[in-house]
Each structure stands twice: as C-alpha cells, then as structure tokens.
Amino acid sequence: MTGAASQARSRPDMMRRQTSLRFVLSALPVAIALAGLCTTAGAQQTLAFPSARGALQIPATLLKPEGNGPFPAVVIMHDCSGLGPHSSGAPARWGKEILAQGYVILIPDSFSPRGIFDGVCTMQEVNLRNSVGGPVRAFDAYGALEALRALPFVAKQRVGIMGASHGGWTTLEAMVAPVSDSDPLAGAKRSGFAAAIALYPRCTTRMGEWSTTSSGRTGPMSGYRGVYRATASTLILAGEKDDWTPAEPCRIMVEVARAQGQPIDIRIYPNAHHAFDNDSPIRYVAQRNNPSAPSGRGATTGGDPAAWADARKQVAEFFAAQLKR
C-alpha cells in the first residue's frame, strides 16, 4: 500500500477517534479541553482518549501549567508497575518535575483498561509482549499525542514523550521509524513526537530494523543486527549496573545508529541500577520477569541520588532544546 493510500484509508479512523475524544471530554464533570482547564498551576484533570488502534479508551491524568499557553507538552508512559496501588511513583515524580518547567503533562494508564491492576513486572515474557508490550502501548502513546493536539493550550508540534523501563521500551517503540507504509503507525509517526527520552529502556527486542539475538530464550545478548532509526531526537539514560534492562545493548544500539547519522544519544551512569530515579534502597527481587537473566527471573532495583540529580538536569536541558525552540 502506498503512503497516500494508507493515509487516505486512515482518515475515517482518525475522525472517529477525534469524535470519541470530544465525547469523552464533554462527559467529564469538570469542563476541560475545548472549554479550557482551570488555570491554577498544577491543575489536575482526568480524561480518556481512544488508543490509536481499536476503540479501547485509555484513561489519563492531565497536568497543566498556569496560563493560557500554548505550552509544549510531554506524554509520560508508566513502567511495568502501572499507575495503581503498586506503582513505582516514577511517572508522578517526573510529571511534577517537568510540569514545573512549563509543560503540559499527560500520563496515560495502559494497564487498567486491559484488566491489569497489579502491574506486569512478574508477567511471563510471551504474555507480556502479546497483551501489553511496548509495541502495543505505542498505539496508546499516539492516541495520547492526538488527545493533546486537540487541546487549545497545547503547542501541537512541540509534544515529546518519555518513559522509564517498560515505559522506556514503549517510548523507543513509539519513536522507531516505520520499516514500510504497512506499519499501522506509519502515518502517525511522520508527524509524530518532536523528541523523546527513554530511561533504562529495554533495547534487546526487535524495533524497526534493529534486532538482537541471544544463545538461549533468556540471558545476555550474543548478537546485534540492523540500525535503530529514530523519527526525532531521542535520548537514553541508563545505569551501568542495571541487570534488568542492561545498558550495554542500548549503548551498542546508539553507537550503530549514530554512525548512520541517527538523532539518538545515550548517557550511562556508572554506579546506577535499574530505577535509579527513585529513592528506594537497592534490592534484588527474585520473582521479577527478566529476559536478560539466564533463569529468566530476578532483577535488582534501587535509587542513585547522583544519577537522579543528573537525569533531572539532562531531561530539563534536552526538552528545553527540543520543545521550546
């Protein structure tokens, strides 16, 4: 199918999604979107929008700076713990941080509308990828982008995306260039996110032309192939001691991509574990699903104050350069 034919075919679906978004917004008890949000700094609203594939409604939290805008915006994709009672809290921390810098924030919940309320950190790999893996959640990300662009106080061409761990994987899936026009997100990606940040993401899965291999179903990577081609400037922040989503495959992926002129970079923190951006003590949990471990289970997480401080600086500078120009 040609690009023009694919776009023409997608227009009815786009119109249906826009109609659905307007319906959901108008049904909220507090008027938002086209009627405008409360102008109090940090005002929080709840909305829902259709995922970019299918009719599934994705609930989300919307945060808005004080004023009328238009403001740049950032979609924050949650990690494997979700947004329920067992959430890591990372999306809320980053949301507060970036909101204070003058961005509209949208935090979608990919799990609860799919009947997942306790996260997927211990879910078997095959079930994870098929039901709510990064490729599936990328459609939620583009639904979120369309929802933000429908709001009058958002600068429509200055919307970024970020996520950590499972959300970082989702971010990379959302930013990888389509291999062909048959990609269901090909049209959306051509005018998609303006910038992306992935914190300790999974880089050991097929994304576009990029793929990895291992000697077994689980365990360290043994081979790399292809190039990760990004649709816009992308930054990866990773911990060198991460045993859940190791930094080394990401480093190689970025090195190969940059050699091909791709707009992607990486910063690796030498003493940081997975989830270095929280304040929890370092601990190993044997039940966690971990395709990077020989047994397929067990991972270490914990905060690193130095990495957290620098990550905040990197995020602020990167989004300012990419979204506030």
Residue spans per domain, the chain: 3-323
User: Residues in the chain, how many?
Assistant: 325
3-class DSSP state for residue 240? coil
Looking at the DSSP bridge assignments, the partners of residue 49 are 58
* Secondary structure letter of residue 281 according to DSSP: P
- Please check whether residue 231 is in contact with residue 177, taking contact to mean a CB–CB distance below 8 angstroms: yes
Residue 19 has a pLDDT of 37
> How confident is the model over 140-153, as a mean pLDDT?
98
Residue 52 in 3-state DSSP?
A: coil
pLDDT for 4: 38
Q: What is the pLDDT of residue 216?
A: 53
Of the pLDDT bands very low, low, confident and very high (cuts 50, 70, 90), residue 121 is confident
- State in Å, rounded, how far the first CA of the chain is from the last one: 36
pLDDT at 227 over 80: yes
CATH architecture of 3-323: 3-Layer(aba) Sandwich (3.40)
Per residue in 292-305, pLDDT (tens digit) is: 777 778 889 999 99
The letter for the amino acid at 14 is: M
pLDDT value of position 285 = 86
Q: Please, what is the average pLDDT of the chain? A: 85
**Residue 290's pLDDT is what?**
80
- Of the two residues 219 and 310, the one the predictor is more confident about is 310
Residue-level pLDDT at 206: 85
Burial group, residue 30, by CB count within 10 angstroms (0-12, 13-18, 19+): exposed
Strand order in the sheet with 195-199: 43-50, 57-64, 104-108, 71-77, 154-164, 195-199, 233-239, 264-269
Query: Taking 50 as the threshold, does the pLDDT of residue 266 lie above it?
Result: yes
pLDDT at 126 over 80: no
Q: Are 158 and 73 in contact (CB under 8 A)?
A: yes
The whole-number average pLDDT for the span 49-68 is 94
Least confident of 85-89, 130-134, 176-180, 258-262: 130-134
Residue 127 has pLDDT above 80, yes or no: no
